[in-house]
């Protein structure tokens, strides 16, 4: 006398066998038991084939890659076709739920990362994944992260010149403290200091958002410069010949109408020791000239010829600029 096994029980058995086989090869005893179960009834073979078809269809669904994945299928309904559709719907819903739970984290993960810095002896050129190029000035540091919808760079110290490959679907965003520089494809220079941020455009268009209430975003064209001074709460706009923008890449820094306080910070980086200005009035004085970034000491010695300052040095190596 044969006993008819309910279809739901057969499908549960098929799901159990399929799950065990997905976890890895069965041992010889378990494999023999599976083959015996498979051959006991045509219904068993059909139910197992349904599991394989369901799994293949689920693989076609777009979803985040998971380290491990286990789908539990609960068949319902009287007919094989309706049960199959119900199982597929349930699996799709489960994968969708997983995607909704993990999709945000998956989408937020960088597709490309790079942390780099230049030492005090030589400049450094970085070739990024998309063909963009970054030249780091002495002592500069950047952190690069590319995402599926944008490209981000943090300039955490110093100065860098950017040549950005165009990609309208992935804007290039540079964070410099509170400020953000936004481009699609262009060539420009970004300098970070204790006082603020300066951006100069050699080619294309660049948007600079100071990131501070009361300071409006700046849209810069070729040859335009924006200097954000956070201490004084203002943005200073000027123009430069394009051949002077990022001139330090040749080893010779050309500067025009730069404040002594900001220039002292440049000298600190090139000398690799602090250069301090004695008072705010002296620090606000403007100066123009050129500086061999590999021989900053020569410029320091010549500085009294440009401004009424005297130079002194402390026992710990600091340089003090004082008014005459």
Return the percent helix, strand and coil in the chain, to nearest 5.
35, 30, 35
Angle of helix 42-59 versus helix 80-108 axis, rounded to 10: 30
Bridging pattern class, strands 319-323 and 275-277: parallel
Other CB atoms within a 10 A radius of the CB of residue 231 amount to 11
Residue 321 lies in a domain: yes
From 219, 249, 279, give the residue that closes a domain: 249
Q: What is the pLDDT of residue 7?
A: 66
Span 294-323, mean pLDDT? Answer: 91
Contact present, 188 and 202 (Cβ < 8 Å): yes
Alpha-carbon distance of 132 to 126, in angstroms, equals 8
Retrieve residue 5's tokens. 């096994």
Which residues share a beta bridge with 237?
226
Give the whole-angstrom CA distance, residue 276 versus residue 269.
12
The average confidence (pLDDT) of the chain is 83
Residues 73 and 196 in one domain: no
Q: Residue 197: what pLDDT?
A: 95
- pLDDT surpasses 70 at 61: no
User: Shortest CA distance to 199 belongs to which of 184, 209, 207, 189?
Assistant: 189
Same domain for 233 and 118, yes or no, is: yes
Q: Give per-residue pLDDT as tens, 246-290.
A: 999 999 998 888 889 889 988 988 988 899 999 989 999 999 989
- Could you tell me the residue range of the domain that residue 64 belongs to? 7-108
> Can you give the pLDDT at residue 15?
76
Single residue among 219, 234, 249 that ends a domain in this structure? 249
For the segment 124-141, the average pLDDT, to the nearest whole number, is 96
Exposed, middle or buried: residue 307 (CB in 10 Å: 0-12, 13-18, 19+)? middle
Statement: residue 180 has pLDDT above 50:
yes
pLDDT number for residue 93:
54
Q: How confident is the model over 206-233, as pLDDT tens digits? A: 999 999 989 999 999 999 999 999 988 9
Q: How many Cα atoms occupy the beta-carbon half-sphere of 223 within 13 Å?
A: 5
For residue 166, pLDDT beyond 60: yes
Which residue has better confidence, 1 or 93? Answer: 93
Residues 44 and 84 in one domain: yes
Q: Are residues 12 and 57 in the same domain?
A: yes
Q: Domain boundary at 58, 73, 108, which? A: 108
172, 132 in Cβ contact below 8 A? yes
Task: Specify if 140 maps to a domain.
Answer: yes
Average pLDDT over residues 86-93: 54
pLDDT of residue 99: 53
pLDDT at position 317: 87
Q: How many CA atoms lie within 13 A of 61 on its CB side?
A: 19
């Amino acid at each position: 006398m044969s006993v008819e096994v309910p279809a739901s029980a057969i499908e549960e058995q098929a799901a159990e066998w399929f799950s065990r086989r997905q976890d890895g090869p069965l041992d010889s005893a378990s494999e023999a038991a599976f083959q015996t179960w498979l051959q006991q009834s045509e219904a068993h073979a059909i139910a197992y084939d349904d599991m394989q078809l369901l799994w293949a269809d689920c693989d076609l669904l777009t979803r985040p890659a998971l380290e491990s994945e286990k789908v539990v299928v609960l068949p319902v309904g009287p007919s094989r076709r309706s049960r199959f559709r119900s199982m597929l719907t349930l699996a799709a819903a489960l994968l969708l739920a997983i995607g909704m739970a993990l999709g945000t984290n998956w989408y937020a993960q960088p597709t490309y990362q790079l942390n780099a810095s230049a030492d005090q002896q030589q400049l450094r050129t970085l070739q990024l994944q998309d063909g963009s190029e970054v030249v780091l000035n002495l002592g500069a540091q950047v952190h690069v992260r590319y995402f599926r919808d944008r490209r981000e760079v943090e300039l955490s110290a110093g100065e860098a010149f950017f040549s950005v490959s165009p990609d309208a679907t992935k804007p290039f965003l540079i964070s410099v403290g509170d400020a953000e520089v936004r481009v699609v494809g262009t060539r420009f220079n970004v300098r970070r200091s204790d006082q603020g941020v300066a951006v100069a455009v050699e080619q294309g268009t660049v948007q600079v958002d100071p990131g501070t209430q009361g300071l409006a975003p700046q849209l810069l064209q070729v040859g335009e410069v924006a200097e954000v001074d956070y201490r004084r709460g203002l943005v200073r706009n000027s123009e430069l010949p394009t051949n002077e923008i990022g001139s330090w890449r040749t080893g010779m820094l050309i500067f025009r109408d730069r404040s002594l306080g900001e220039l002292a910070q440049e000298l600190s980086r090139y000398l690799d020791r602090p250069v301090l200005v004695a008072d705010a009035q002296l620090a606000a004085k403007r100066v123009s000239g050129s500086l061999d970034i590999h021989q900053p000491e020569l410029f320091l010695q010549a500085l009294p010829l440009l401004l009424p300052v005297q130079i002194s040095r402390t026992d710990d190596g600091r340089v003090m600029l004082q008014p005459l």
